[in-house]
Amino acid sequence: MIGVYLPGDSLLHRMPAGLKLVLLIASIVTVTVFVHTPPQVGLAGMVVAGFLAAAGIPVKVVLAQLRPVVWLVLIIAVFQVVITSPARAVVVSGVLLISVALAALVTLTTRVTDMLDTVTRALGPLRKVGVDPDRVGLVLALAIRCVPLLTGIVHEVAQARRARGLQWSMTALATPVLVRALRTADAMGDALAARGVGDD
């Protein structure tokens, strides 16, 4: 779901992308350092939910942002229960979900172009040491574009696999996904080369 933007007129939508990125980092660090108990996790979660509501983000969109990490969170929670305690599992899992929700809040209220422009400007001083901010911005843009693109490929292949009665075959999923991903990468590389990207 990276790169999804929901238009709006909330304060968060109007806030500069650079400021949002700084606040995102500060918020995640604050939650990680100061949240130590399940009640604190609940309080932090309510605060983040309030921000999401203030930005006008629908609940189904929030759930869609969190769904990809659910299995990871469950695995971490079980591991924490085994080696520490249920309370610690709630804290670790809760902090992870809150961090993902905060990141989703930023991506949902910030245009990708604004975020990339901010990163490019921030890297401007590094030109003196050989870093090309424009190229870094291009790489980030391609990465953001490829996440939903690859997700779509996996979804289409999974549907075709189920239609052929091969839902339990990992080979029937992995091989077509790999082939289509490589073909897409070749096509994208050809398109960039045709536009002179990478020519010095």
pLDDT digits 0-9 by tens, 41-92: 999 999 999 999 999 999 998 888 888 788 788 888 999 999 989 999 999 9
Residue with tokens 């975020």: 115
Cα 114 to the chain's mean position, in Å? 16
Q: Does residue 1 carry a pLDDT above 50?
A: no
For residues 57 and 173, the model is more confident at: 57
For residues 121 and 26, the model is more confident at: 26
pLDDT at 195: 65
Domain boundaries, the chain: 11-112, 124-194
Q: Does residue 179 carry a pLDDT above 90?
A: no
pTM: 0.71
Q: Which two tokens stand for residue 191?
A: 């398109």
Residue 4 has, within 13 A of its CA and on its CB side, a CA count of 15
Over the stretch 137-169, which tens digit does the pLDDT of each residue have? 777 766 666 666 776 777 788 788 777 776 666
Q: Which two tokens stand for residue 28?
A: 């995640």
Report how far residue 28's alpha carbon sits from residue 107's, in angstroms, rounded to the nearest whole number: 15
Largest CA distance in the chain: 57
Q: What is the 3-state secondary structure (H, E, C) of 117-144?
A: HHHHHHCHHHHHHCCCHHHHHHHHHHHH
Beta strands in the chain (DSSP E): none
The dihedral over CA atoms of 192, 196, 198, 199, expressed in degrees to the nearest 10, equals 160
- Which H helix or E strand runs over 107? helix 86-108
Angle between helices 133-163 and 112-122 (to 10 degrees): 140
pLDDT at 49: 94
The overall average pLDDT reported for the chain is 83
Distance in angstroms between the alpha carbons of the first and the last residue of the chain? 34
Residue 131 has, within 13 A of its CA and on its CB side, a CA count of 14
Of 46, 101, 82, nearest in space to 74 by CA: 82
Report how far residue 195's alpha carbon sits from residue 138's, in angstroms, rounded to the nearest whole number: 13
